A and B are shown apart, each in its own frame.
Chain A
Amino acid sequence: AQSVAQPEDQVNVAEGNPLTVKCTYSVSGNPYLFWYVQYPNRGLQFLLKYITGDNLVKGSYGFEAEFNKSQTSFHLKKPSALVSDSALYFCAVRDSGGGATNKLIFGTGTLLAVQP
């Protein structure tokens, strides 16, 4: 079965510093990986995806993610954090287990707190 793991419940970073939110995956077959951000009482917003191709994927709001097949990781990164980046971040994998709609399976989420 497909799954993702987010080992950190919370990441704290000072504004202007680089940030990394970690995600590792376990899939059978090719991985289809996504990052979403959730602000309080809001829906999940799509940030970026990895399907194939370059290991460094660029997404919305200056975020990028690095796909590493040997380490089965898909860490979310940003060179310079903003206070407004403070939110809950979810890594997700596309389920290729046979369901016709290939639902997303989410990690447990990482709360990013950016201090001014």
Chain B
Amino acid sequence: AAGVIQSPRHLIKEKRETATLKCYPIPRHDTVYWYQQGPGQDPQFLISFYEKMQSDKGSIPDRFSAQQFSDYHSELNMSSLELGDSALYFCASSLRQGAYNSPLHFGNGTRLTVT
């Protein structure tokens, strides 16, 4: 079965650079979530989109932005990168219908290293 696809798998950037992470949800899933997982930490919710509109916002820095496109894929844009942004970034997708019932399906993540 098709899963959530994230690209790239690994990304190395220098401080103050920008990065763009991409996420392709499971076909027919209309909701996308972004999570950040620091070393030894639990995943922290950043932001989510439903039908191309931002629907919830968590601990996402102002330096980050995200959007969901007409084909439902999503991109997380990160600017003025800091060392503390080094983490594993996960995208997840789900069906909003039956929202409480529908589990999130996660991609394998993008490991961002800021040097």
Q: Are B50 and A46 in contact (CB under 8 A)?
A: no
Q: Please indicate the chain A residues that have their CB under 8 angstroms from the CB of B55 in the complex.
A: 99-101
Q: A43-B4, A46-B103 are in contact. Are A103 and B43 (CB under 8 A)?
A: no
From 35 to 80 in chain B, residues with beta carbon under 8 angstroms from any chain A beta carbon are 41-43, 45, 48-50, 55-56, 58
Could you say which interface size class chain B belongs to? Answer: 20 to 34
Shortest Cβ distance from A43 into B: residue = B106
Interface size class of A (residues with CB under 8 A): 20 to 34
Interface of A is mostly: loop
Query: Which residues of A have CB within 8 Å of B105?
Result: 46
Per-residue B-contact encoding for A40-71, CB less than 8 Å = 1, 0 else? 01111110010100000000000000000000
Interface residues of B (CB under 8 A from A): 4, 31, 33, 41-43, 45, 48-50, 55-56, 58, 88, 90, 92, 94, 96, 99-101, 103-109, 111
